[in-house]
Structures are given as C-alpha cells and as structure tokens.
Structure 1
Amino acid sequence: MLEQLNEAMEDIERHLGERTDAARLARIAVTSEYHFRRMFSALAGLPLSEYVRRRRLTVAGAEVLAGERTLLDIAVRYGYGSAEAFARAFRAMHGVGPGEARRTGAALQSQPRLSFRLTVEGSSSMRYRIVEKDAFRMVGRGTQVPLVHEGMNPAIVAFVRSIGRETLDRLAELSDQEPEGIVAAVDKLSAGREEGTEIDYFHGVLTHADAPEGMETRTVAGGSWAVFESSGAFPEAVQYLWRDIFTQWFPANPYRSRPGPELSWTKLSADGKEADAQVWIPVEHIPDALA
C-alpha cells in the first residue's frame, strides 16, 4: 500500500494547477475517498486539502522569485481565478504578497513533498481482532464538541459530568453486548480530522433495552469492526492508540475505514492515572489488497 500512496503523491505534483481530485487519488491508492482522506491526515499530520494548497503555493513561490512569468500567469497556472485571490493565498502562507516577494527577494515558506516509507516504528505489535456485529442501538446522551488530539477534552469532561454519576450507573446496568459498559462514540469527523472542528459525541451503552426517560437512542448499521486494545497512562495511551491505528495498522493491513461511529471503552484505575481501553473502528475488507 505504501507504493500506491507514493504514486498518489506523484499524481498531486502532476496536477498542482488543477482542482484536487480526491476520488482519483483514492483510486490510485486502491482505497475509498473517505478512507484516503482520513488516512492521509493521520499519516501526514495535516488535511489533504491543506497539503495540496501548501505545495501549490510552494511551487508558485519559486516561480514568483524566478521572475520568468507574470504574476497573473502564475496565478492562473496554479488554479487561482484572479491575481487578487492568488495574492491573498500567497500572503496567508508566506507572510508577504507576491509582488513584494519578487521585488525584495523575500524569504518564503516551503512545504516539502511528502513520501511514505516503512520505518522501525512498526516494530511494536498491536493487539486487534475483527468482530462482525449486527445492527445495534446505543442509549445515552449526545452532543457536539470540538476535536482535541492530546490531553483531556474539556467539553467532553463537562458534558459527562452534566449527565451525573447516578444516571451513568443506571445506564451501565442496561449494557448487554460488546463493548460492555459505558461507551464513548464519535462520529461525523471532518475528512482531515482538524483539531478544533466540531464532532458528534455520544456517551452511553449498547443495549436491547428501551431508553429510559430523558435518554436518546441511536441506531448503528451492522458490519465489521476492528477492535484494538491498549493499557497505559491516561489519556495519553488511549490517544496514542487512535494515532497508531491510522498511521500503522491501516497501511499494513487489507482494511479501510467505513462510515460510522468510532467507539471507545475505557476502564480507569482507582487513581485515574492509568487505563485499560478498547477502540472499535468500523472497517471493510479490501479484496486482493495485498495481491
């Protein structure tokens, strides 16, 4: 799969002057557009659209300094509808307008080309299993919160506290299937998973029981789930597990993520500093992916 990802990076370079065709890139990488965007963001550390924008303006910046084309020609060459639009985008990245950069030879920012390769980071194994689940219901409460990659998410902490310990204990008693106990579910993440973007968050249990008064019910379609386990410092070990799933497990296995909520189950130690955790990711098998 690394070879296909690098072919997709080459395709980006060949079409920097055109609108990004994520569907074409996904076909090159032999995966779905949905999974390609999410995997790219996890591997590269920035969304696909932001990477392409920065690469486009990096190459355009070199042409601005070279002085061989007019600024309007460069703007059109790299997909901008006007010199003004190009100037705004140029200044946003480089901190200086293209005209001033050409006159003064100003120092510009550069986004290196990305390439993917196997490193010794994959020397540690990951525990996982594939589970087939029929459609199921989640009962609990939901909200929207900003996405936080590292550390505690204050919005989630405040939301869970607002539910109350007594209510959570009653909910836990309704749990009757895996993953058991109180589960956190996140859904409708942006393709790039940018920190600070709004996501759907649901706190509750998987159950066949009816929802108690004041609780919500959400139905989730059946399918395959990749289940990962981790133990360690909280919340770092759990957050690193999410990172490793997309940066290590997916590139090495014939699966891709599919739409649906991502579930996590966490059991804290008595002092709240350590945790055992499970993460459930909705996946689908890629036929002949390793052929």
Structure 2
Amino acid sequence: MNSLAPSGVSMNERRIEISPSDLVSFMQQRDQVFDAELYTKKYNAMSATQQQAMARQYAEQEVLYREAKSLGLDQNDEVLRRRLIQKLKYFLEGLIQAQSQPGAAELQQFYDANKQDYLVPATATFTHLFFKQEGADPASAMARAEQALEGLVADKESYAVNSDSFPYHRNYVKKSAAQVARHFGNEFATSLFKLSPQPSTWQGPVVSAYGAHLVQISQMQAAYYPAWEAIADKLLRDLQRSQFAAAQQAQINQLVDQYQ
C-alpha cells in the first residue's frame, strides 16, 4: 500500500511500510476496542484522503517510537512497562468481549447468585426543624425541640418555631440511611428509619451529630429486590466484568506458563 508503515520492521530502519491491517490494528488500539471485523469495515468505508491521513498519523507515531527506542528511552522505564502491561490487558479484554454475549438465562442465574448486591435500600422523604446544640451537652437543644413540638401540636397552623439554620438541607427526598447519615450522623439515620411516615405530623426530637431535630416524614419506601429484567443492562455489565476478569487471568496464566 504505502511506503509508510510496518507489518514488521524493514531492514532499513528509516523505512516504514504500512499495510491496511496495520491501520486497522492502529484504529483499534486508538479506540481501545478490539473488533477486527468492525474496524476493517470502518477502514474500508474511509475515503482515500482519510486513509492517507490515518497512515500519516500511524507513521508519525512509529517514527517517534523508533527515535525514542534509539535513544534508549524505553530502558528501565517503569511507567512504560506498566503501560505496556495495561495495553496487553486491554487487548485481551477486547478479545474476550467479542466472544462473550451472555443470554437471559445466564443473566438471571448471575442475579440469583449475587442478589444481595442489587438490593435497593429503604428510603425516606422528610423535612426537619433543627435546634443547634451548644457545647457538648445536647440537653438545651432537646429542650428547645420539645418546646417547639408542644407548640406545634397545640397550634400547628400558626405556631412560630424558632429553629436554627442547618449546615445542609431542610428537605430530603428519597434518601437512603447511608445518605442521611452523611449529613446527620448514624444515630439520627438509625432513629429516623424506625419512625413511621406521618405527612402532616411532626415527630421527635431526634438527636443528630449537630443537635436535635423535629421531623415530618411524608414517605418511607421499604428496601426491595428489583426484578432482574429491570436491571438487565447493569447485570450484563457486571456479569461481563466478572467473566472478563476470570478469562483474562486464565489467558495471563497461559502466557506465564510458556515461560521458564
């Protein structure tokens, strides 16, 4: 094809011979997608100008690579060593991915075997009133919260609550215990999820890492396992990742076994 690029290095180190298969491999390496049939079609669909431009890119990289090697820049280079190892792993992964297309039965079997990983946690939707803790003693904050609760129970329409500004948000929608704990602390999250939703009723006080709170819970969603069909795309990614890791290690083991 071109007098630019190698299907093997020429005896003349200043000569680069490029074949279509070299450019197909180059495109796959560039995109980190290893599907020779697909990229052969992509290459053949290019115009002559586009193919020449691709050959030029390949040639430039080959020249820089050869010049770097001639200067010994590849010697004792741990970063380069790691990159080459990673590139081979990507290559092996591409080969495995092209061969692996799990069906519905495999997805369901994988889901059943790893069901706990797909549990959707319980969530709460709530608003709160915050009463700041002064010093290490939460008693004053609790007392203020209890007083406010009494006023709200007696006259929830017009009672003016003298609450404090909370560091985060006033309203929380469909938050899990872990998400709630990040803003309020574990003690608050545990206590909150023991309460029942009462959309128009203030409950508490509930202690947090910052003080005391009155909470109004509008909705609680129990934890549940989704139907596997509803998360089929995620299951496919997870199953393939699991298969890739095992198959890749098997291929690496085969390569290692070829060495003494």
TM-score by length of 1: 0.21
Q: Which has the larger radius of gyration?
A: 2
TM-score by length of 2: 0.23
Q: Answer 1 or 2: which has greater strand percent.
A: 1
